[in-house]
Amino acid sequence: MKPITILIADDEAEIADLIALHLDKEGYRSIKVSNGREALHAIQSQPIDLAILDIMMPELDGYEATRQIRERYRIPIIFVSAKTSDLDKITGLVMGADDYMTKPFNPMELMARVHALLRRSMRLNQPDLEPTSVIEAGGLTIDPDKRTVTFYEENVELTPKEFDILYLLASHSKKVFSVENIFQHVWGEAYYEGGNTVMVHIRTLRKKLGEDTHKHKFIKTVWGVGYTFNG
């Protein structure tokens, strides 16, 4: 059985070494690089199961590296960054990261998040034993097998998490999901401090679906309860 390989991209060698030390203790194989361009090269040249990226790196920062990774790959990405503002976190999640931790960080918490993302990624990559169906509603077409979304035949580019949220709601169109429910279904782990993460994803999802420019709202807020799909 091949070892799980995790990429660490950080230009601070001490931090990269610390993360690698804890990953090695957990039985993972770690690869260290010092900038975004080297991170892209590593992902293109060998199988990588998860990436831990800094944001402020030379040559190519973490945001741009993530954008380019998301064009071709669905591997889980965790940002570990000294950028601590809410805007920085929102930007990281919108660019396609699955999780965001700020420096200084607790290495054991990082390992817990690595475990959770890998469990979810492996579950999603297992063959689906039940047939899935394309959902069509109000000009919106959601194909769970191809993981594509179109609106009146125009492609809508979604991050993996945005797609998962949309498909979860659309495939249970009469059910109202709380923020906690959405987090547990999409992130595949127990809910804790995940409310803002879910709401950020829903905000950007609504924007990508054009809800700010047309009257139809696909994602309806049920105040005090959660969200539902309004097909």
Helix (H) or strand (E) holding 207: helix 195-208
130 in any annotated domain: no
Structural domain span for residue 77: 5-125
CA nearest neighbour of 23 among 103, 113, 95: 113
Gap between the Cα atoms of 47 and 57, Å rounded: 22
- The residue type at 192: Y
Beta strand ranges found along 140-218 (DSSP E): 140-143, 148-151, 154-155
Q: Determine the pLDDT at residue 65.
A: 95
Under DSSP, is residue 112 helix (H, G, I), strand (E, B) or coil?
helix
Count CB neighbours of 75 within 10 A: 21
Q: Determine the pLDDT at residue 1.
A: 54
Q: Which residues pair with 8 in a beta bridge?
A: 32, 52
- The answer for 220, left when phi > 0, alpha when psi is -120 to 50, beta otherwise, is beta
> Peptide bond preceding 104: is omega within 30 degrees of 0, i.e. cis?
yes
Q: Determine the pLDDT at residue 128.
A: 45
Tens of each residue's pLDDT in the chain, 231 residues = 568 899 999 999 999 999 999 999 999 999 999 999 999 999 999 999 999 999 999 999 999 999 999 888 889 999 999 998 988 888 888 888 989 999 999 999 999 999 988 887 776 554 443 446 889 988 899 998 888 999 988 999 998 889 999 999 998 888 899 888 888 888 776 555 556 788 889 999 998 998 766 667 899 999 888 999 987
Strands 5-9 and 29-33, sheet pairing: parallel
Gap between the Cα atoms of 215 and 217, Å rounded: 6
Number of H helices, E strands in the chain: 8, 11
What DSSP letter does each residue of 37-102 carry, written as one string?
HHHHHHHHHS--SEEEE-SS-SSS-HHHHHHHHHTT----EEEEES--SHHHHHHHHHHT-SEEEE
- Shared domain for 23 and 120, answered yes or no, is yes
Q: Determine the pLDDT at residue 48.
A: 93
Provide the number of structural domains found in the chain: 2
Q: How many residues in the chain?
A: 231
- Shared domain for 140 and 47, answered yes or no, is no
- Shared domain for 12 and 121, answered yes or no, is yes
Specify the CATH number for the domain of residue 159.
1.10.10.10
Gap between the Cα atoms of 52 and 161, Å rounded: 17
- Shared domain for 98 and 72, answered yes or no, is yes
Query: Crossing angle, helix 179-187 and helix 160-170, to 10 degrees?
Result: 120
- Shared domain for 52 and 143, answered yes or no, is no
End-of-domain residue from the set 125, 152, 171: 125
Under DSSP, is residue 137 helix (H, G, I), strand (E, B) or coil?
strand
Q: Which residues pair with 151 in a beta bridge?
A: 140, 154
- Shared domain for 112 and 32, answered yes or no, is yes
